[in-house]
């Protein structure tokens, strides 16, 4: 099919009569699309598929239960032929005479209209013609849809948003590839990005030059921008009608204070979307070859901040302990665990800069880990894992 002489258009078919001639797979698919668009669909066919029969039974589609006859196109704005027989040629000729646009199934060269493959993501609709090759168009459509959904193509609005929006996006444990598809798309739409120290900063290079980036990163025991000021930044930018992405490391709800930001925005009347992230508590352990649970080794796990009520944690190597934000007081934490009844011989590991090219794993026992980590010069960001599952890591000495 040549595209010469064609003009891409979007048709408003809602409330308008559209005739589909045929009752098989192509007719079913096109009928369902037309019904979804609000058209008054009339199917002309002696037999129909089960799916079409369901639509007819619900009253969504009118069925003329016979072969096509001249006059069936009366009042139609559009016709789809789908019999794959000489009947299609007759319908096309009648449509031409009546000046009705005709979609001709399996024969685009003799059609007067072509249905593109359509990708719709939120309020963006992309229609693709494959030059008469439906499979080619579908493949292109799927690729474009994936790119729109992932944020690889620009979805960002260029107009003012009266209500504004704050999206609390978990950036994952460090590797930009571990940001969720929804998070990446929101980042591509953002007018403002409020970013943490542990968020995947490499993604900021993909932002448009006019996107405001506010770095509110916190270092251990040093918070230059307190939480109430971060909340105020989110609310202020959203009230300006902007899409604000709060890009945080890991998951916003695992020691990320995402709940506080959610409450602050909601109390201010700001719409909020929460996008969970891949939490470092599990992902970093996995990247070090340590599953937090493993059949026959560990039946459960606890995630703690490494400085709150650790003496109350389960005292068995069959229950994995994952501790976050505790490198500076690792020696004290290990001593408190042992004093609380934990076996000092329990395998333990500290994983620094997890899920990045600089990841490093140091292993020992609960009693020795602090000294081993100090000798290695371990620094944050890091997580500590205590439990028998540590022996599954490739870093655990064999034999």
Tell me the two tokens of residue 283: 């992902």
Task: Out of 88, 175, 196, 251, pick the active-site residue.
Answer: 196
CA distance 11 to 16: 10
pLDDT, residue 2, reads 46
CA distance 387 to 12: 63
Q: Kindly tell me if the per-residue pLDDT of 236 is higher than 90.
A: yes
pLDDT, residue 133, reads 72
pTM to 2 decimals?
A: 0.64
Tell me the two tokens of residue 246: 């709060």
Q: What is the mean pLDDT of residues 361-383?
A: 93
Q: Kindly tell me if the per-residue pLDDT of 1 is higher than 50.
A: no
- Our CA dihedral for 358, 363, 368, 372, rounded to 10 degrees, sits at -30
- Range of lowest pLDDT (78-87, 322-331, 381-390): 322-331
Active site residue 107: no
Give the residue, 76 or 327, on which the prediction is more confident: 76
Chain centre to alpha carbon of residue 364: 38
Task: Out of 218, 236, 328, 388, pick the active-site residue.
Answer: 218
Active site residue 104: no
Pairing of strands 382-386, 347-352: antiparallel
Of 281, 316, 287, 310, give the one whose Cα is nearest residue 388: 316
Query: pLDDT tens digits, residue range 105-150?
Result: 777 778 888 877 777 776 677 878 776 677 787 888 888 777 777 6
Most confident of the ranges 142-156, 158-172, 312-326: 312-326
pLDDT, residue 137, reads 78
Query: pLDDT tens digits, residue range 72-107?
Result: 999 999 999 999 999 999 999 999 999 999 998 777
């Amino acid at each position: 099919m040549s595209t010469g002489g064609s003009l891409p258009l979007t048709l408003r078919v809602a409330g308008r009569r559209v005739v589909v001639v045929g009752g098989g797979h192509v007719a079913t698919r096109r009928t369902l699309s037309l019904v979804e668009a609000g058209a008054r669909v009339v199917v002309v066919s002696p037999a129909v598929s089960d799916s079409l029969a369901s639509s007819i039974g619900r009253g969504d589609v009118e069925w003329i239960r016979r072969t096509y006859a001249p006059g069936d196109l009366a009042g139609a704005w559009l016709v789809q032929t789908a019999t794959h027989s000489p009947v299609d040629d007759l319908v096309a000729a009648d449509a031409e005479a009546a000046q009705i646009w005709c979609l001709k199934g399996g024969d685009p060269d003799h059609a007067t209209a072509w249905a593109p493959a359509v990708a719709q993501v939120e309020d963006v609709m992309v229609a693709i013609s494959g030059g008469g090759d439906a499979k080619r168009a579908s493949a292109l459509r799927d690729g474009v849809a994936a790119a729109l959904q992932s944020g690889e193509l620009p979805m960002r609005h260029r107009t003012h948003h009266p209500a504004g929006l704050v999206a609390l996006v978990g950036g994952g444990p460090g590797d930009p590839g571990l940001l969720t598809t929804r998070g990446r798309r929101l980042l591509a739409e953002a007018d403002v990005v409020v970013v943490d120290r542990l968020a995947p900063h490499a993604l900021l290079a993909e932002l448009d030059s006019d996107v405001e980036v506010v770095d509110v990163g916190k270092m251990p025991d040093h918070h230059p921008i307190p939480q109430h000021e971060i909340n105020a930044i989110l609310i202020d930018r959203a009230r300006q009608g902007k899409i604000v992405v709060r890009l945080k490391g890991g998951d916003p709800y695992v020691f990320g204070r995402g709940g506080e930001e959610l409450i602050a925005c909601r109390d201010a009347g700001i719409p909020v979307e929460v996008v969970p992230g891949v939490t470092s508590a599990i992902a970093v352990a996995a990247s070090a070859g340590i599953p937090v649970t493993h059949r026959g080794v560990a039946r459960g796990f606890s995630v703690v901040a490494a400085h709150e009520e650790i003496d109350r944690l389960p005292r068995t190597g069959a229950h994995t302990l994952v501790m976050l934000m505790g490198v500076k007081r690792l020696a004290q934490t290990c001593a408190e665990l042992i004093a609380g009844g934990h076996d000092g011989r329990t395998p333990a590991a500290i994983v620094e800069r997890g899920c990045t090219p600089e990841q490093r794993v140091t292993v020992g026992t609960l009693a020795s880990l602090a000294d081993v980590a100090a000798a290695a010069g371990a620094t944050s960001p890091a997580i500590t894992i205590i439990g028998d599952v540590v022996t599954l890591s490739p870093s655990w000495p064999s034999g």
